[in-house]
Structures are given as C-alpha cells and as structure tokens.
Structure 1
Amino acid sequence: MQRLYQKIIEEHFASHDQMILLSGPRQVGKTTIAKNVMKRAKYHKYLNWDNAFDREQILAENNTIASNLPIDAILNVRPNIVLDEIHKYSHWKNFLKGFIDEYKGRLDIIVTESAKLDVYRKGGDSLMGRYFLYRVHPISVAELVKSEILGSAISSPKKIENDLIKSLLEFGGFPEPFLKQEKKFYNRWQNLRQQQMLKEDIRDLAKIQELAQLEVLANIIKYQAGQLLNYTSLAKKVRVSDQTIRRWINVLESFFYCFTIRPWSKNISRSLIKEPKLYLCDWSIIEDAGARLENFVACHFKKAIDFWNDYGFGNYGLFFLRDKDKREVDFLITDNDKPWALIEVKTSANQPISNNLLHFQEQIKAQYCLQLAFDLPYVEYDFREIKSPKVFPMSTFLSQLI
C-alpha cells in the first residue's frame, strides 16, 4: 500500500531544498517510503549504514557519495539520495551538515532514523534550517481509507469496514504483520523486532549494560499502558533507582517503544500536575482489551498531532485530565495551547456519557467534547458539526484524522 508520507515528500522536493528526516520505529516503513520516493527520480542512490560497502562510501568523502551520478544529473535534474540508519554513525551530525551544505539545491536528500537523533547528539554544529522532520507512525484508520492529505488537518469522514479496524487492533499498524494478518508470522516478527531493539539498537546507541533489567521494565509497562507512571513502584520491581527508571523510560521513548502524555492543568481546579501517563507505540502487544483500545486511540491521536505539527498545520498538543479527586478524562487535544477536543474512550455505546467528561468540559470549554464508542457503527457525519457533548462512533472520528 502507498503510505500518505510518500506524496508529502514528493511535494516537498518539488518546492524546497531542505533535507527530509524520516523518524520512526523499526519496521514502520521508513525505508520503503524513502525508496518509493527515490525510484521516481531519474537518478538516485541508496546507502545504508548497516551495509559495509555503503559505509565505506559514507566514511570516505562527501563527493564520493555522488561520484557515480552523471554530472548533468547533479546540475539539472536533482538526483535523490537516501541515507538509511545514519544515526548509528558517531559523527552523523557533522557528516550531514557538510553533505547538505555541499549539495543543497542539487540533490534531494532523505535520511531515516529509528532512534531520535536529538537524544544522541555528539557535538558539532546545528542542523537548524537544513532539514524538515516527518515522524512516521504505524498505519491508522484514516490511512486505510485515504492516501493523500487535502488542505486541512481534519478531513470529511470516510467509511471503513469494521473487519479492517478489528484487524488493525489485533495485528497492529506496522505494515508487514498488518498486511499478512497471520498469527504465527506476527508472533515471530514481534519477538525479532523486540530483540533487535533491546539487544542491538539500545545496547549500541544508548550504551546501557543492564539489558536484562531494561527488558524487565519494557515487559512490565506493557501491563501499565494508559496508567499513571509510578517511578518509585517501577524502581522497586526492577531493583534500580528512581532516576535510572526515569532515564530508561526516556531511552525507550527515544527508540519509539512507548510515549508519555502529561496532565493538562490550565483552568482545572485541584488538577494533577506531575505524573504523566504512558502508552506503547505498538498497541497490539497489550493483552487487556480495554487498555488496548485506549492505547489504539492514543496512537491515532499521537500520529495526527505529530503530522499536523510536522506539516505546518498548526501547533497541536496531546494531554489528559485528572484532578486530586481522581476524576479523569482520557485525552485533550490542544490547538495553539487552547483546548480543542476533549475525548473519552469507551468500548460500548451503552455506557452513559461520562460525568467526568461533562465536569471537565464545564471548566475548559473545549471546542469539541466527545465520548467515542468502539461498537457504534460508522455514520456519514462530520464531528465538527457537533456543538455539545455527544457519544460518537470511534470509526467515524478516527477516519477524519491522519
């Protein structure tokens, strides 16, 4: 399937000189997207840091990389160069700065990373102004029904079959297991992916020696998705300090194993202001059905917000609401630091609209206030037409995002 990111990158290179940085978890499809864009160019070249021959070219000189391209290609048609997994090179930033400065406007450059480069900076000059970032997320409901972005962050609803959503919930949104939809393959793929992340990527880049304990932490938080992070409790279970747990959670976030969202406190009386909630980047590994569904929605919101911000639609944020009386609402999406959509997630439409949702809406007056029900069938109705708190089909709402 064609990912929505492909057309966006092609449009970018049609009018901009900046390098594209594709950031996202292992196996999310970054390389496939980059290669699909690359192959549309008349002249192109793909280099992977993990390949010894490619690594020699990268370590040689900047002009070596473009050496086998015809001179008229560089002068006239802007060849496409893909640098895959370059973050594993200890001097990646100085290399990219020099390469971009030499070939800006003459090459279309795509760089991929499966760890957040800003976490592992090792000195050197800034890349400010030299690249645009696109964070690549797993396949979502909206991406199954549309492959291009129109003129605004929110699109009109588009019908999706229930079986597709159920498959997405079961197999996750990573392209290979989702497209195969075969349980044995899924299990083998998951085991290999986790081993590569923990025992190769994190070991080599984050320089963590206690990999067995880190693996214990990664397994524990699978059962705490959607819950408040309790660093002290986790420290006791893993037998390390609170500070070590905080550092390891940051590492797991930087390798796209999980992400955290913080509580919103503006205009909330007795609000919780410290502990974040944690979600996994792959909802399919969560066993509890209710926690998996909430995480599924969290990933959709995270994907949409990252894309809206990366694409320039605005300045969006993702939060949750909780006060000291333990009243809580699952999600708040903000637009330019103002409440935009207050969202509660439920499995069934038979559940009455949440009193907590109504309570917090009275305080923050978000533009939209919805309780999303998983079992409500799709309706051809734009949620932007709703002006008061309502129970609404989850499939319809998610189809309008990214």
Structure 2
Amino acid sequence: DDALVIQKRQWPLSADLVVFDEIHKMKKWKMFLKGTFDTKPPHMAILVTGSARLDTFRQTGDSLAGRYFHYRLHPLTVKEACEKEAVARDVLDRLMIVGGFPEPYLARDVQDIERWRNQYYTDLVREDIVDFSRIHEVRAIRMLLELLRSRVGSPLSYRALGEDLQIAPNTVRKYVAILESLYIIFLVRPFHRNIARAITKEPKVYFFDSGCVKGDDGIRFENTVAVSLLKNAHYHCDASGKLQELHYLRDKESREIDFVVARDGRIQEAIEVKLSDSTPSKNLHYFKQKYPNIHYTQLVLNLPQAREINGIRVEPAAKWLMNLAV
C-alpha cells in the first residue's frame, strides 16, 4: 500500500528521485515533507506534484521556505507540441480549437474531447471550488464562469458582472480570485508604472484552456497567444529567477496594445495580435514613436512570411510562438 510506504518512509534510500503526488491531502503534509527533506540522503531529489489546491495550501500553515523551488505547470504550447516548423501552424490551429490540456489535445474523437471538458469543469466545481467557498455560492461561481467564457480579451467590469449575476461587485471580485487560484482563468492587468497615461485599472480575463473560450477565431487566437506568453513569463521566473510580467497597454486616449512583457518594471516587448492584417496597427506606430526602445511585434495568424516595417516586426504567429523558450 503506497500510503503506508509514504507514512513510514519505506521507499529505497538508493532512489535518485522520490515523487509525491497530491500529498497535500495528507494530514500535516508540510511537517512530513520538512522531515523527509531534512533527513534524505544527499543524492536524493524530491518532486511534489498536485492540483491548484497544492499551490494554495503551500502558502498557509507550516513554512517550507528554503527547501523547495516552485514550478508552475501550464498547458501545451506550440513550442512543446510540434517537432518541426512545418507543422507549427497545424498545432496552433488545434490549440485554438481544443486547448492545450493533454487529454483533449491528444484525443481524436470530438465526443471524447467534450466529455473530458465537461467532466473536468464539473470536478473542479464539485471538489476544488467547494474548498474555497460555501456550497450555496457554487451556483453563482458557475454562472460567473459561463459569463467569462464570452468576455475573453475584454476589460473586466466587476460592477457589470455583479449586475448580471445580481451580486455585489466585491463578491464578483472574490469569485474571480477563486477561479484564478484554481488556474481556470488568469487576469492580464494594465501596465502603469513607467507610462503615466496608461491609467485604466480594469484587467482582461483569459482562460488557461482555450477550448473553453466562446468566441470567433480572433478571440480564440488571442487567448492562445496569451496562454503562451504567460507560460513563457512564468518559465523565466520559475527556472531562472528572472521576473517577467504580462500586461496590456492602454493610455488615456484608449490607444491600446494587446500585450506587453515587462522585466524589472520596464516594458521590453509590445505585442499586437491580428488574424490577417499584415500592416502594423496605428497604435504600434504611435507607441513606437513615443517609446522607441521597446521591441514591437505584430503577430498574424494568416501570414506567409515575416517582414519589418518602420522598426516593427510583423511575424507569422505559429513560427514566432515556436521560438519562445517554452
């Protein structure tokens, strides 16, 4: 019995790697890990894996500080899912339709994909969300999740959502935070540190599972790019300690760029997302003139080859995404 082996620490001491999955369900699991880490042989590595609840629970109770590195596991991206550039576009198209979770991505039957997705979100609501809220709130959270599916890439108004759901804006904010903590959605917030006129405070919402998004190809494409950019930013942070943040840029005159990548509080790259338009957007030109030291890129889904116009790179999205770190 694996549980007994774990409780008594009876795995072989010669093992190079010991893996604990979902160990946060065990009582006093942090104390157990601390004792295991402090008494393990020098050659032994320990890998602890788990659902989003593990990420939440690790931040409470006993501290494991100094004993671990935290890695966030994201859905598949173009970089991971294709072996050669020639199929990158096919991979991107599939990610836009079914998302990057391995089960639906690898499935070949549409019914299997739909069954998996329905079961996945049902289980999340029944098991994980109940851990964070009262049972009577679950219905409202499910309704909020359904509303958010059709608001991807749009500024998120807690007041408007509250009116739709007939609940207070602060309650909506709480429910959104729950969905974030469970890695169902993520928020891309406006960048405002060094550009004083980028003052809007409303975040935009995206789904880790692009297959859950309700919308046209443009919305699904934008969501898939957002997932890839966030994964790349988290990878640099988790693997090398280099803090990267994903934001969008919007100034007082409503000039907007879909995504900006910031490092150490400064924008390094600005990225606009288009289905077919190979001409750099007016907003890219505007910000390029105003802040010339930033790299500007327009990612286009339907584009045969890259080109550069006035210092702005226009890139085929699939090829560009394939060249990210992850």
Task: Answer yes or no: same fold by TM over 0.5.
Answer: yes
Give the structure 1 partner of residue 64 of structure 2.
Answer: 127
Residues of 2 paired with 1:79 and 1:313: CA distance? 25
Over 3 Å counting, the alpha-carbon distance change for 1:100 and 1:195 in structure 2 is same
SS of alignment partner, residue 318 of structure 1:
strand
| TM-score, length basis structure 2 | 0.90
| Correspondence 1:3-402 to 2 at 5 A | 53-55=1-3, 58=6, 61=7, 64=8, 66-69=9-12, 74=13, 77-89=14-26, 91-103=28-40, 105=42, 107-115=44-52, 117-121=54-58, 123-145=60-82, 158-203=85-130, 205-209=131-135, 210-288=137-215, 289-312=217-240, 314-350=242-278, 352-377=279-304, 388-401=311-324, 402=326
Are the equivalent residues in 1 in contact too, given 2:88–2:322 (CA < 8 A)?
no
Shift of 1:307: 0.8
Shift of 1:168: 2.0
Shift of 1:84: 1.0
Give the counterpart letter for 2:312 in structure 1.
P
| TM-score, length basis structure 1 | 0.74
Are the equivalent residues in 1 in contact too, given 2:82–2:88 (CA < 8 A)?
no
Residues of 2 paired with 1:247 and 1:179: CA distance? 34
Residues of 1 paired with 2:321 and 2:174: CA distance? 33
Residues of 2 paired with 1:317 and 1:111: CA distance? 25
Most deviating of 276-285 and 238-247:
238-247
Shift of 1:361: 2.6
Give the counterpart letter for 2:91 in structure 1.
L
Are the equivalent residues in 2 in contact too, given 1:158–1:399 (CA < 8 A)?
yes
Shift of 1:187: 0.6
Give the counterpart letter for 2:311 in structure 1.
S
Give the structure 2 partner of residue 7 of structure 1.
Answer: none
Residues of 2 paired with 1:188 and 1:332: CA distance? 36
Give the counterpart letter for 1:108 in structure 2.
A
Over 3 Å counting, the alpha-carbon distance change for 1:171 and 1:308 in structure 2 is same
1:156-206 per-position Cα deviation (integer Å, ceiling 9, x unaligned)? x94434323222221111112111232111110100000011111221x31
Are the equivalent residues in 2 in contact too, given 1:159–1:399 (CA < 8 A)?
no
Shift of 1:135: 1.1
State how many pairs are aligned: 323
Residues of 1 paired with 2:23 and 2:46: CA distance? 12
Shift of 1:118: 4.9
Shift of 1:246: 1.2
Give the counterpart letter for 1:220 in structure 2.
L
Over 3 Å counting, the alpha-carbon distance change for 1:207 and 1:400 in structure 2 is same
Over 3 Å counting, the alpha-carbon distance change for 1:214 and 1:302 in structure 2 is same
Residues of 1 paired with 2:199 and 2:155: CA distance? 11
Shift of 1:290: 1.4
Most deviating of 276-285 and 94-103:
94-103
SS of alignment partner, residue 193 of structure 2:
coil
Give the counterpart letter for 1:184 in structure 2.
Q
Residues of 2 paired with 1:118 and 1:283: CA distance? 22
Shift of 1:270: 2.3
Are the equivalent residues in 2 in contact too, given 1:378–1:395 (CA < 8 A)?
no
Are the equivalent residues in 2 in contact too, given 1:229–1:276 (CA < 8 A)?
yes
Residues of 1 paired with 2:29 and 2:152: CA distance? 34
Shift of 1:134: 1.6
Are the equivalent residues in 2 in contact too, given 1:368–1:387 (CA < 8 A)?
no
Give the counterpart letter for 2:320 in structure 1.
F
1:89-128 per-position Cα deviation (integer Å, ceiling 9, x unaligned)? 4533233222222226253211112115453357543211
Shift of 1:364: 3.2
Give the counterpart letter for 2:141 in structure 1.
L
SS of alignment partner, residue 132 of structure 1:
coil
Question: Cα RMSD over matched residues?
Answer: 2.4
